[in-house]
Amino acid sequence: QVTLKESGPALVRPTQTLTLTCTFSGFSLTTSGMRVSWIRQPPGKALEWLGRIDWDDDKIYSTSLKTRLTISKDTSKNQVVLALTNVDPVDTATYYCARIPATGGIDYWGQGILVTVSS
Amino acid sequence: DIVLTQSPATLSLSPGERATLSCRASQSVSTYLAWYQQKPGQTPRLLIYDASKRATGIPARFSGSGSGTDFTLTISNLEPEDFAVYYCHQRNNWPPWSFGQGTRVEIK
């Protein structure tokens, strides 16, 4: 059974760094072709793809966020970590981690975590 | 980055009607295009991947077509549970992935 779950703070102050952890089970990020992505959705708005990390540790980031975003993994713990620096109220959103196998689309999503950026 | 433009923004239809949703990419994504359905308070659900392949458990009334820059999601014979927001998503290897802005299918 594949599951993913995001954890981290619900409230972050402007200019701080947001760190979220995605803990997953039921698959391995060492499997060839496997990927985990971070996606966010501001309240009432569309999905926004943030970045991904691949089984071979390759990382691709959204062009608009690449100067502030870092994604890393710890395969021994089955975790993927997102770090977003210098946050602003516009970064307020529900953040999702999701699994993407070698073929197909995003087939499993975490439940999401609502992060509010406010002073 | 590749920009995905979905149209229309809102589609007002009655149950039993046919819905046709469009997704246009700013450059070719081959067939690396997926469609998701999202209902209020829920996570997105994969409907179609690789432009035309139905995901596991998705009813046959959902179909996808297209390649390159123009894609279509068709829902034949809308059921009450199909009223939701639909997003397209491209997963070309490079540039970075992206989502469309969504099409809301609402009850007329």
Arithmetic mean of pLDDT over chain A: 97
Task: Give the span between the Cα atoms of A72 and B94, in whole angstroms.
Answer: 19
Q: Give contacts of B95 with chain A, Cβ < 8 Å.
A: 63
The whole-number pLDDT of residue B1 equals 87
The whole-number pLDDT of residue A104 equals 86
Rg over alpha carbons for chain B, rounded to the nearest Å, is 13
Query: In this model, does residue B94 exceed pLDDT 80?
Result: no
Report yes or no: A82 and A95 within 8 Å, Cβ to Cβ.
yes
Q: Give contacts of A47 with chain B, Cβ < 8 Å.
A: 36, 38, 44, 87, 89, 99, 102
Stretch A86-104: mean pLDDT: 96
The whole-number pLDDT of residue A14 equals 97
Task: Identify any residues that bridge with B86 across adjacent strands, giving them in sequence order.
Answer: B37, B103
- Quickly state the pLDDT bin for A103 (edges 50, 70, 90): confident
- Quickly state the pLDDT bin for B92 (edges 50, 70, 90): confident
Query: In this model, does residue B6 exceed pLDDT 90?
Result: yes
Nearest to A91 by CA among A24, A36, A23, A20: A20
Largest CA distance in chain B: 39
Task: Give the span between the Cα atoms of A3 and A110, in whole angstroms.
Answer: 7
Report yes or no: B50 and A103 within 8 Å, Cβ to Cβ.
yes
Cis peptide before B80 (omega within 30 of 0): no
Stretch B74-88: mean pLDDT: 97
The whole-number pLDDT of residue A37 equals 97
Report yes or no: B8 and B103 within 8 Å, Cβ to Cβ.
yes
Tell me the C-alpha to C-alpha distance, in Å, between residue B53 and each of A77, B71, B78.
Answer: 33, 13, 19
Stretch A18-45: mean pLDDT: 97
Query: In this model, does residue B93 exceed pLDDT 80?
Result: no
Closest-CA residue of B relative to A37 is B97
Residues A1-26: b if buried by 16+ CB within 10 A, e if exposed: eeebebeeeeebeeeeebebbbbbee
- Quickly state the pLDDT bin for A17 (edges 50, 70, 90): very high
Query: In this model, does residue B60 exceed pLDDT 90?
Result: yes
Contacts of B43 (CB under 8 A, 6+ apart): A96, A109, A110, A111, A112
Read off the pLDDT of residues A34-84 as tens digits, 9 standing for 90 and up. Answer: 999 999 999 999 999 999 999 999 999 999 999 999 999 999 999 999 999
A49 interfaces chain B, CB cutoff of 8 Å: yes
Q: Do B46 and A105 touch (CB under 8 A)?
A: yes
Instruction: Dig out the tokens for B5 from the structure.
Output: 């433009």
Task: Give the span between the Cα atoms of A30 and A94, in whole angstroms.
Answer: 27
Q: Do B98 and A49 touch (CB under 8 A)?
A: yes
Q: Give contacts of A49 with chain B, Cβ < 8 Å.
A: 89, 96-99
Q: Which of A47, A60, A107 sits opposite B96 (nearest CB)?
A: A60
Q: Which of B44, B89, B101 sits opposite A109 (nearest CB)?
A: B44
Number of inter-chain CB pairs under 8 A, A vs B: 64
Q: Which of A46, A96, A110 sits opposite B87 (nearest CB)?
A: A46
The whole-number pLDDT of residue B53 equals 98
| Strand ranges in chain A using DSSP code E only, listed in sequence order | 3-7, 11-12, 18-25, 35-41, 48-54, 59-61, 69-74, 79-84, 93-100, 108-109, 113-117
A55 interfaces chain B, CB cutoff of 8 Å: no
Query: In this model, does residue B103 exceed pLDDT 80?
Result: yes
Query: In this model, does residue A19 exceed pLDDT 90?
Result: yes
Task: Give the span between the Cα atoms of A86 and A14, in whole angstroms.
Answer: 7
Query: In this model, does residue A33 exceed pLDDT 80?
Result: yes
Task: Give the span between the Cα atoms of B23 and A18, in whole angstroms.
Answer: 32
Stretch B61-86: mean pLDDT: 97
Q: Percentage of chain B with pLDDT > 70?
A: 100
